[in-house]
Chain A
Amino acid sequence: MKSSRIKWHVVVFLAPAVLVYTAIMIFPLFNTLRLALYTETDQVRVFVGLANFMTLFGDPRWSESFWNALGNNFWFFLVHMLVQNPIGIALAAILSHPRLRFASFYRSAIFVPTILSFVIVGFAWKLILSPIWGIAPDMLSAVGLKSLFAPWLGKEEYALTTLALISVWQFVGIPMMLIYAALLSIPEEILEAGEVDGITGLSAFWKIKLPLILPSIGIISILTFVGNFNAFDLIYAAQGALAGPDFSTDILGTFMYRTFFGFQLQLGDPHMGSAIATAMFAIILVGVCVYLFGIQTRLKRYQF
């Protein structure tokens, strides 16, 4: 084909996707980064360079909220990594057992919470954990553990962990499915070769299957990271924009929302909101780069 002529059909095929994607996603992304360098005085947009970031990190009122949200966000992520992904892997390992009966039923049932909206999940758990309704305390007293009950969502020291666990409950289906798919793709011959060498059951899991599914574990880790660092909905649905009690469940998403739209006495500030969005962008970018260059390239992929 002659390359000098513009192939119009290629342009026609590409144009809609590229236009929508550029106009609604890429352009606003960079525009948000740009807006972080401005501020508004007397309804005029003024360029202020890095002043918003100086405020965000230098002014104790702002920086305290920011580090609080960032710290909470890391804890939120850590709970997911330590609870959600191991449970997901364990469930997938059990499900991938050959000739397990009702496997597809279990799979579909365990995936149900993932399809529910954050609003449903947030309120449903709020009601169940509510001391007024008493389902949680009643169930604990049925097994003789009533003393363990506390209004978990209302206590500063427990609220964030409780919300993280609710989110784990909701999303455990995703690592389960991805790991399940990875486990199924391991060829039978490899497992049989292991059996000949006397490696079966649990040790087959640790010594053969786990190393082979490491790339999938890498993928669920980065998906968890990106998902957690722009999370917002669950906290907003369960605790409101103020991320109570006393900001103990505030994460970057809720912090950005409050800053952008304002709350109670504070007016909304799109430029400070952009500065926080820029910080979130930087954090996610660092995470993705660490994954792409630090982790993914080192994991050996096996082609079967």
Chain B
Amino acid sequence: MNKARQNPVNVIAAHGALILYTLIALFPVFVIVINSFKSRRDIFREPLALPDADSFSMIGYQTVLKQGDFFLYFQNSLIVTVCSLFFILLFGAMAAFALSEYRFKGNTLMGLYLALGIMIPIRIGTVAILDLMVQTGLVNTLFALILVYTAQGLPLAVFILSEFMRQVSEDLKNAGRIDGLSEYTIFFRLVLPLVRPAMATVAVFNMIPIWNDLWFPLILAPAEETKTLTLGSQVFIGQFVTDWNAVLSALSLAILPVMALYVIFSRQLIRGITSGAVK
């Protein structure tokens, strides 16, 4: 190996820059979480100190869990995210299979039509989406959110999945056909298991924006019983601006599920992004 590429000064400088940026990235999260475990007095007196026996307090968490319906919000977010991902993957994979497997009139055109939504944000159509949901009586239902996120996720899902489905061996599918399998069985039994890694990539890509979205819950489902965790914490924190313990605890509680998801899926997510899925 060439010496110039592993000059110790360069290595130290590289680590220095990365450590500095890592600190910048993690510092705000760290400050919020440690202070959520402190008493009000210590939050202000020593904001950067870790909670110790003297300053430790769970008062903020008690307020939050008493006042806000965080379990309901969490459940709503979970239902919306899981159902949307399910439909994005199922419908997306089916359409991707049709586009990559069969030759039919308008195939390319259909592919382009479905790809339009990759670049054009669905939010532009919000006025008419709300109109539609009001007319169909879906306002303030989780189903409205699931529909919107499914539509939002489909274009990229179809695009990525059809790239991967083109690589599935033709012989395998034809062997299935000779054995008399229907096209549906070929899709569900032979093709889907083979593109599982691509499905995971699509799922992880869509999961975070859906979980974190504020716009559509605010507009389509602001009712108390349909609030998602993101909207719920926004409203809740807005009400408690002066109760620092409660605000910090609410923020920490909102960070918790996303961090848990990230720890579980970060490998998948990073592999998905770096595998060049977004070409």
Question: Do A and B originate from a single complex?
Answer: yes
> Interface on A for B, CB 8 Å cutoff?
3, 7, 9-10, 12-14, 16-18, 20-21, 23-29, 31-32, 35, 87, 90-91, 94-95, 97-102, 104, 106-121, 123-125, 127-128, 133-135, 138, 169, 172, 174, 177-178, 180-181, 184-185, 195, 200-201, 219, 222, 226, 230, 232-233, 236-237, 253, 256, 260-261, 270, 273-274, 277, 280-281, 284-285, 288
Interface residues in B96-122 (C-beta closer than 8 Å to A): 97-99, 102, 104-105, 110, 113-114, 116-117, 119-122
Contact A133 B274 (CB under 8 A): no
Contact A232 B4 (CB under 8 A): no
Interface residues in B109-143 (C-beta closer than 8 Å to A): 110, 113-114, 116-117, 119-132
Contact with A along B1-32 (1 / 0, CB 8 A): 01011100011001101110110111011011
A259 CA to B270 CA, complexed, in Å: 39
Partner of B273, one of A101, A181, A237: A181
Contact with A along B250-279 (1 / 0, CB 8 A): 010011001101100010011001111010
A270 CA to B130 CA, complexed, in Å: 10
Interface of A is mostly: helix
A9: chain B residues at CB < 8 Å are: 182-184
Instruction: State how many angstroms separate the Cβ of A206 from the closest Cβ of chain B.
Output: 15
Query: B151 on the interface (CB 8 Å rule)?
Result: yes
Contact A200 B95 (CB under 8 A): no
Contact A13 B275 (CB under 8 A): no
**Identity of the chain B residue whose Cβ is nearest the Cβ of A230 in the assembled complex:** B121
Contact A27 B273 (CB under 8 A): no
Given the known inter-chain contacts A116-B212, A177-B274, A274-B127, please indicate yes or no for A25 contacting B119, CB distance below 8 A: no
A18: chain B residues at CB < 8 Å are: 95, 110, 114
A35 CA to B90 CA, complexed, in Å: 33
Contact A135 B47 (CB under 8 A): yes
Interface of B is mostly: helix
Instruction: State how many angstroms separate the Cβ of B155 from the closest Cβ of chain A.
Output: 7
Q: Please name 8 pairs of A and B residues whose Cβ atoms are closer than 8 Å in the assembled complex, sorted by A.
A: A7-B104, A17-B154, A24-B150, A123-B247, A236-B218, A256-B126, A280-B124, A284-B121
Partner of A177, one of B32, B119, B273: B273
A277: chain B residues at CB < 8 Å are: 124-127
B212: chain A residues at CB < 8 Å are: 115-119, 233
Q: Between A and B, how many residue pairs show CB distances below 8 Å?
A: 266
Contact B18 A232 (CB under 8 A): no
A121 CA to B258 CA, complexed, in Å: 13
Instruction: State how many angstroms separate the Cβ of A233 from the closest Cβ of chain B.
Output: 4
Query: B195 on the interface (CB 8 Å rule)?
Result: no
Instruction: State how many angstroms separate the Cβ of A216 from the closest Cβ of chain B.
Output: 9
**Identity of the chain A residue whose Cβ is nearest the Cβ of B155 in the assembled complex:** A21
A29 CA to B214 CA, complexed, in Å: 20
Contact B215 A117 (CB under 8 A): no
A23 CA to B125 CA, complexed, in Å: 11
B278: chain A residues at CB < 8 Å are: 178, 219
Most buried by A among B120, B130, B230: B120
Partner of A24, one of B31, B127, B129: B129
Contact A35 B128 (CB under 8 A): yes
Contact A177 B270 (CB under 8 A): yes
Kindly list 18 other residue pairs between chains A and B, CB separation below 8 angstroms, not including A116-B255, A119-B230. A7-B104, A10-B102, A13-B95, A13-B98, A16-B94, A17-B94, A18-B110, A28-B132, A95-B18, A110-B21, A115-B258, A119-B233, A119-B234, A120-B255, A123-B251, A180-B274, A233-B213, A284-B121
A274 CA to B125 CA, complexed, in Å: 8
Contact B124 A32 (CB under 8 A): yes
